Structure 1
Amino acid sequence: MVACAEGLGVPRGSGMFKHALRAIGFHSEENIAAKVDNLKKTLMWSDAEVAIAVSRDPHVLRTSKDMLQRRSDFLISEVGLQPTYIAHRPVMLCLSLEGRLRPRYYVVKFLKDNGLLMRDLSYYTVVTLTEKAFVERFICPHKEAAPHLSEDYAAARKGEMPTNFRFV
């Protein structure tokens, strides 16, 4: 297991090493190789990018094939992120698509499209904020200009697509 974790790019002395051991602990070498191949195929990553991602968040190895595909489709096709950007911020692949990634993207896009958010924030910053910080920073300041934003965000987090978030 130790050799396998190091082979995946997680150095023995790093803080992520124990997480890597947990991520691969109950899998065969063939299963781990299949997961690595799936990361490379799904996200168009090189071996180096897989090593970067796994060393930063070994939990990406625990993400199911279906969930990885859905998240990568959203992040690459809809949000427009580059695979290399995702490799350096792999925690995004472990966040809830329905509960965090998609609703926050819609809120920020809505605010930008309506001229309520002038500065360009990194998507990573937006999705890694705590729920409280996100609401305080992106929902509360716009209560007057966008009175339904809070309800629309709550609905989006439940998997519903509010009409105010529909983009043409």
Structure 2
Amino acid sequence: MPYRCGIAEGCIRFGGCFVVLAVATGVTDESSRDACLALLAVVAATALVTAVLVVTQQIHQRWSLMVWPFSLCAGIFALDRVAHQAAGLVMGLVVLSFLFIGLSQPPRPAGFWFLPPAALLFLQVQDLDPKMARCAAPDRRCGVDHLRGGAGQADHGAA
């Protein structure tokens, strides 16, 4: 039995996030014609995807709720192009998108589908070079002394 979700509820959540994006442009004094057009383009694209889901009768499937987090990422991406400071203010909405995915999707790794675009968005908004944002697992050669510029071997017994 498919998961029943209301189109209106999804649209309200999506609209609320885009109100936050619009307010962020006003708070940072970056509200402009370009910012409005960028946000409206994402809203129009999301409306088109939603219309396709309605026409193909897929809107009531649980996976169709993934449209909202991906649309929010697209909105922040578009906003970053025209209002960089505003995009930096609303990166917390990506965290809420992961929460939404965790609550609306079955217990399987649905959040992993959202991780690559969210990570790329974070790199773009924070102006990070991918080399700067790499994750490294600590090993025995890289201890506290090494990180501080020490000789290389850390005293693992000290706290």
Q: TM-score, normalised by structure 1?
A: 0.23
From the CA coordinates, give the structure whose radius of gyration is larger: 2
Which structure has more RCO (C-alpha within 8 Å, separation ≥ 6)?
Answer: 2
